[in-house]
Homo-oligomer: A and B are copies of this chain.
Amino acid sequence: MIPEINPEALRNHKGIVANPNCSTAVALMGIWPLHRRFGLKRLILATYQSVTGAGTEGEKELEAQVLAHAKGAELPRRVFPRQIAFNVIPQVDAFGANGYTGEETKMMLESRKIMGLPQLPVSATCVRVPVVRAHSVAVSAEFERPVSVAEAREAVSSFPGAELVDDPSRGEYPTPLDFSGKVKCGVGRIRVDTAFPNGLSFWVSGDNLWKGAALNAVQVAELMVREGMLVPRNALAAV
């Protein structure tokens, strides 16, 4: 069984524990078990992010636009930089000086930090899509060691954060709709990446409100309790 990503980071931690960016948390549920097996060398990410990543207001805006369309009325716009119904927007968060958005920069820096690979070459394109809930990520990853799809599937299956949904012959792969409200993130479409000597392409869909936010915070707290890092306040009084 492939262990949780970095419990040792938590063990040695003092102070506030930050919850990761939602797209990063979802993507890593596929990337981490494959890194453990094959050794990550390079990462190219393209996201398909739901409107709830922008909060309740994002969800309301998509719904309002769709309802206006159904009535033949003009589509209202307030939250997103462009119309989101019937469109995709290649901007999540504000632009930095290097042309990457905040979300894209987070995916690079947080992937490196969480996996303990400070030099890992990563590039991301983050895109908002008219989906209510659950983010998806298309991943192309280059590895140090030779890869195989069978071994990759085995690695993903044995990782607690992921559910393997990967049978192209039966049309089985994860979609955001299938993984809305699910604890685990769906990983599928695993194939040898034709652009790299030792590469894998794959697809991850995961709930941005669960794994991308609240659930992950609970999982961090659970781990801290299990490791004896968090104790009830009245236990302190007894010392």
Contact = CB atoms under 8 A, between A and B. Distances in A.
State the number of copies, please.
2
Given A189-B125, A190-B99, A194-B123, A90 B177 contact: no
A193 interface: yes
Contacts of A70: 66-67, 69-71
B122 A194 contact: yes
A121 B195 contact: yes
Count chain B CB atoms within 10 A of each CB in A89, A127, A195 and give the residue with the most.
Answer: A195
A83 interface: yes
Contacts of A196: 42, 121, 123
Given A138-B90, A175-B87, A195 B129 contact: no
Interface stretch (A8-16, A27-35, A166-174, A223-231): A166-174
Interface residues of A, number: 58
A177 B125 contact: no
A125 B42 contact: no
Contacts of A44: 44, 140, 195
A83 B175 CA distance: 10
Count chain B CB atoms within 10 A of each CB in A67, A88, A89, A130 and give the residue with the most.
Answer: A88
B48 A123 contact: no
